Amino acid sequence: MQATNKPSLKDIEKLPKLEKLIMEYFLKYISAGEIITIIDLRETIKSMRDPELVPEFDDVIIEISLTRAIARLVKEGFLEHTEGCYNLAPHLREELKKTGKYKPSLSRTLF
């Protein structure tokens, strides 16, 4: 299911902390496989040890939290899900291109 109103890059600022972290990941990598996304983000969260991100630092709890947050981002139109892969939504990739910030695999700040 896709969102009717497409979110912009500015809308990322309004997201909860975990969802912002996920979006930072996809702004950097644009596209990633389902499994590697969860592993990368789980390890990032474990290294940060920020209790605002997840209720516990157990691998299973982190992975459940990530899966739910990613599903919300797909539903809200920030990400798209294809078979085995998550991608930054096409309209956000276009917005990045217009701002000159579309450089996959390079860290970038939004604002």
Q: Band of the pLDDT at 5, cuts 50, 70, 90?
A: confident
Domain ranges (residues) in the chain: 19-99
Could you tell me which CATH number the domain at 19-99 has? 1.10.10
Supply angle C-alpha 69, 72, 78, rounded to 5: 105
Question: Do 28 and 105 touch, CB atoms closer than 8 A?
Answer: yes
Is the per-residue pLDDT at 103 higher than 70? no
Overall average pLDDT of the 45-54 stretch:
95
User: Rounded to 5 degrees, what are φ and ψ at 16?
Assistant: -60, 160
What is the tens place of the pLDDT at every residue in 58-87?
999 999 999 999 999 999 999 999 999 999
